[in-house]
Amino acid sequence: MDGERMKRFFRYLYDCRYMWLWALFSGVVFAVSFALYGLKMEAVWYPILLSAVFGAVMLILGFIRHGKKHQQMERIRLSGGPFMGVTDVLPQAGSLTEEDYQELFGRMEASYRAEKGEWEAARRDMNDYYAVWVHQIKAPIAVMKVLLQQEDTQLNRELSAELFRVEQYAEMALSYVRLGEGASDLVIQEYALDDIIRKSVRKYAGQFIRRKIRLVYEGTDQRALTDEKWLGFIIEQLLSNAVKYTSEGSVTISVDERKRLSVTDTGIGISAEDMPRIFEKGYTGYNGRLDKKSTGIGLYLCRMAADKLGHRLTAQSEPGKGSRFVVDLESYPFQA
């Protein structure tokens, strides 16, 4: 008998302690009564021995039944935890106390399901609101873009840059909602990385030109198993941070033979104490305190998107010399 089963056996004996006390007390009563009447003690030991044998048999049977219940409850626990429809598969109650506990558990599950339904309905309403808001805000943004492009002035270029940031924040809000919906928004297939990267570069070309930052990208013929939209979102967020925190120098995009996509800049870098927390939600770090416009959401969304795609996102940085973010796109052969 292994340690876990032995522990459970002693716990079962402890649960039956009142039965053992009753049996011991009954044996003592019989022995005292026979002694007072002057009867032979053999008349006591024989029925006590028979009762002990039958009691041991019943004890073993009870322990086996108790073990089956324990295993069934353990399977329920490992299959999804409480309040997930387990009342339908609970072991049959063997006592009034167990029936009371199961009834109480059923009421708790019903209450939990009702609250969960209300929460999911509220979350869907909120997601729908954000989606509608983002799509509606795109209309005035597009109109303002057209108006600002009618005359090429320094003021219009500055306003266009700020309008571009507004559009990115709106897209980020929609991405935040979509990432919480699981894999329903993913289209996984093999894509040419060069097409995805160039699309993101074209989107941020105006920002590079305005900040007079050199972009280095020599192209790639690598293909990767990913989602085009969400990988593009990750690249765009990394480019956004590179432009934001690089005042002069260059930003380099490269893909090696192991399908590791890297975005390297020559910006202000990230302090060593901030590195372990840069992917946390809402964490802005030292650079964020310098730049009051930082939200601490961009890298958090990048990590969430990378995790959902099965990619590994890592970062390296040296203060004053720049940062390097790497998205590991290497995949393994699979069969559908």
Provide the number of structural domains found in the chain: 2
108 found inside a domain:
no
Asked, for residue 218, whether it belongs to a domain, the answer is yes
Same structural domain for residues 190 and 312?
yes
10 in any annotated domain:
yes
Kindly state whether residues 59 and 192 are assigned to the same domain: no
> Is 164 part of a structural domain of the chain?
no
Do residues 334 and 195 both lie within one domain? yes
Judged against a pLDDT cut of 90, whether residue 325 lies above it is answered with: yes
Residues spanned by the domain of 45: 3-81
The set of residues, in sequence order, having a beta carbon less than 8 Å from that of 13 and lying 6+ positions away, is 20
Task: From 37, 65, 81, give the residue that closes a domain.
Answer: 81
CA angle 135, 200, 317 (to 5 degrees): 115
pLDDT at 121 (0 to 100): 86
Determine what percent of the chain is predicted with pLDDT higher than 70: 85
- Angstrom distances, CA of residue 307 to CA of 26, 118, 222: 66, 28, 21
Query: What pLDDT score was predicted for residue 199?
Result: 93
- In a domain, residue 321? The reply is yes
Domain-terminating residue out of 49, 81, 113 = 81
- CATH label of the domain that carries residue 248: 3.30.565.10
| Residue 313 maps to a domain | yes
pLDDT in tens, 31-56: 788 777 777 777 677 777 777 788 77
Q: State residue 185's pLDDT score.
A: 67
Specify if 177 maps to a domain. Answer: no
Are residue 190 and residue 336 in the same domain, yes or no?
Answer: yes
pLDDT digits (tens, 9 = 90+) for 53-90: 887 788 788 777 777 777 777 776 666 555 555 666 66
CA distances from 294 to 42, 240, 284, 298 (A): 90, 11, 6, 9
Is 322 a domain residue?
yes
End-to-end C-alpha distance for the chain, whole angstroms: 44
End-of-domain residue from the set 81, 112, 139: 81
Same structural domain for residues 191 and 45? no
Average pLDDT, the chain: 81
Phi, psi (rounded to 5 degrees) for 37? -90, 0
Mean pLDDT value of segment 306-319: 90
